Amino acid sequence: MRFWMLLVVMCAAGCATPYQRMSLMGGYDDEQVGLNEYVIRFQGNGYTSMGLSYQYAMRRAAELCPGGYDVLDGMGSSSQSTFVYANRRTFAAHSVSKPEVMTHVRCRPYDVRNPPPMATPAPTPTAPAYDYSMR
């Protein structure tokens, strides 16, 4: 039983936050604050970079505003979480920094007769390829 619980925790904690609605692992959340204005928040986990969090917030803005958008205000911060592990033999504390981006955007007018070109989402960063050649 311990093995399965450990396996589930390791699988859940070993991944960067995907682009998704807010959940336990993080994600985006948006709120309409005025006519064509939104506040968008993206919170990542300890494996998500601040840059990727910003890209995900801008991706959500592009989904909400098909005619384009203007960023009125944007800020990024990082919250610190400390996890404590303890059993009969060991005691350890692990600190994790979680990036959070909050931005305020205003949607540009959308003309149905002349729609803007479809925006392509930013590519998801991948790990650099390992060079297996012998030098």
What's the burial of 38, exposed, middle or buried (CB within 10 Å: 0-12/13-18/19+)? Answer: buried
| Nearest alpha carbon to residue 77 among 58, 45, 102, 46 | 102
Q: Above 80 in pLDDT, residue 127?
A: no
For the stretch 60-105, pLDDT in tens is 999 999 889 999 887 767 665 655 666 667 666 666 778 888 999 9
Higher per-residue pLDDT: 116 or 28: 28
pLDDT of residue 46: 80
For the stretch 9-64, pLDDT in tens is 555 555 777 888 988 888 999 999 988 999 999 988 888 888 888 999 999 999 99
Q: How far apart are CA 99 and CA 75, in angstroms?
A: 11
pTM over 0.75: no
Q: Which CATH architecture has domain 17-107?
A: 2-Layer Sandwich (3.30)
pLDDT of residue 19: 85
pLDDT of residue 69: 92
| DSSP-H helix ranges across 1-135 | 2-13, 50-64
Q: How far apart are CA 19 and CA 17, in angstroms?
A: 7
CA distances from 15 to 19, 26, 42, 52 (A): 12, 11, 16, 13
